[in-house]
Amino acid sequence: MLVVMKNDATEAQVQAVINEIEGMGYRGVPMPGSLRTAVCIIGNQGPVDESQLLVLEGVKETIRVTKPYKLVSRETHPESRSIAVGDIKIGVGKPVIMAGPCAVESEKQALTIAHLVKEAGAQVFRGGAFKPRTSPYSFQGLGEEGLKILAKVRQETGLLIVTEATDHTNIELVEQYADIIQIGARNMQNYSLLRRAGHSPKPILLKRSFAATIEELLMSAEYISSEGNNQVILCERGIRTFSDNTRNTLDLSAIPAIKESSPLPIIVDPSHAAGKRDYVISLSKGAIAVGADGLLVEVHHDPPHALSDGMQSLYPEQFSELMKEINGLIR
């Protein structure tokens, strides 16, 4: 339920509503708007008795929320949300391009790629320091050493950094180095990690699992928001279907569907969807065409010798071509 306050409601009246909600055994989350404040009730398992709330001073009306996800629903937050990171905003204006290798392999490798993608127009550098892999024998990342390399990339190039936290034990370390913390597809329903991310001061990039519905993705975002962190960026990266011509099947229909249901920005990872670099440019253009707020693209200066996902990583010249074609679409 949403408790809508009057235009002239005071902070004390809003707090009185929150106190009353807590007295009923629920949580009240204030949601300031351009005209008035609303208080979202969370934690209820069924209908809430609105009579106790309607009599409070400053209350205009109550609105029942039909979606199971409340804090990330357009029912409670009708205006699209933008996430400010450094000097960029994700969700407003031109799509934000995040690019870099799947994994940080060395300082030389990371800096070489960072300079190349920045020159082509990327605003955020992606690179994994912790890598959850299907095989326990695959390269698992450099850990804190990789995070320190990412810090060097930001210092030398000015690019913002997005990198993955793989569990609730290393997210604190990642927070010290990253501008955006990624929660990967394998961890989309790692609820202890989601709750910990909800206490982070950093924006969270939440990837859709390859077997998750849109509602399940939004419920995972709700876990983060319910703990206090509203800086959530969603990412569509392909789902598993019967098709085997690509690594996953990019669900472009998820972009308008999510924008209809949620105010959260959503970007697309065409690299993990395709699994083949030759498809990435086409999928990227499709993503921008249907309204994606950005792209997360894998780029490597030497893909044949990449320690992770070389087949889906663009060569630098391909990334430059991608940026030119995208700029042609959004002008």
Of 324, 267, 330, the C-alpha closest to 120 is 324
| Interval 67-78 mean pLDDT | 90
Q: What angle do CA 179, 201, 140 make, to 5 degrees?
A: 50
Domain assignment of residue 71, yes or no: no
Q: Are residues 134 and 184 in the same domain?
A: yes
Final residue belonging to a domain, choices 35, 63, 91: 63
* CB atoms near residue 82 (< 10 Å): 17
- Residue 200 lies in domain: 83-330
d(CA 122, CA 117): 5
Residue recorded with tokens 């253009």? 285
Sheet with 27-32, edge to edge strand ranges: 27-32, 37-42, 2-5, 59-63
Q: What 8-state DSSP symbol labels residue 189? A: T
Task: Give the pLDDT band of residue 331 (cuts 50, 70, 90).
Answer: low
Q: First-to-last CA distance in the chain?
A: 41
Domain assignment of residue 29, yes or no: yes
Task: Give the pLDDT band of residue 45 (cuts 50, 70, 90).
Answer: confident
Domain assignment of residue 259, yes or no: yes
Q: Are residues 55 and 87 in the same domain?
A: no
Structure tokens at 116: 């190349």
SS3 per residue for 156-174? HHCCEEEEECCCCCCHHHH
Structure tokens at 219: 């419920």
Cβ(144)–Cβ(176) under 8 Å? Answer: no
Task: Give the pLDDT band of residue 76 (cuts 50, 70, 90).
Answer: confident
CB burial of residue 271 (10 Å; 0-12, 13-18, 19+): buried
Cβ(318)–Cβ(133) under 8 Å? Answer: no
Q: Are residues 152 and 261 in the same domain?
A: yes
Q: What is the pLDDT of residue 34?
A: 74
* CB atoms near residue 215 (< 10 Å): 12
Average pLDDT over the chain, rounded to whole? 93
| Interval 104-125 mean pLDDT | 97
Q: How confident is the model over 162-196, as pLDDT tens digits?
A: 999 999 889 999 999 999 999 999 999 999 999 99
Residue recorded with tokens 């690179």? 127
Q: Are residues 273 and 203 in the same domain?
A: yes
d(CA 233, CA 231): 7
Q: How confident is the model over 306-318, as pLDDT tens digits?
A: 998 899 999 999 9
* Domain count within the chain: 2
For residue 238, give the 3-state DSSP assignment. coil
Q: Are residues 305 and 183 in the same domain?
A: yes
CATH number, domain containing residue 134? 3.20.20.70
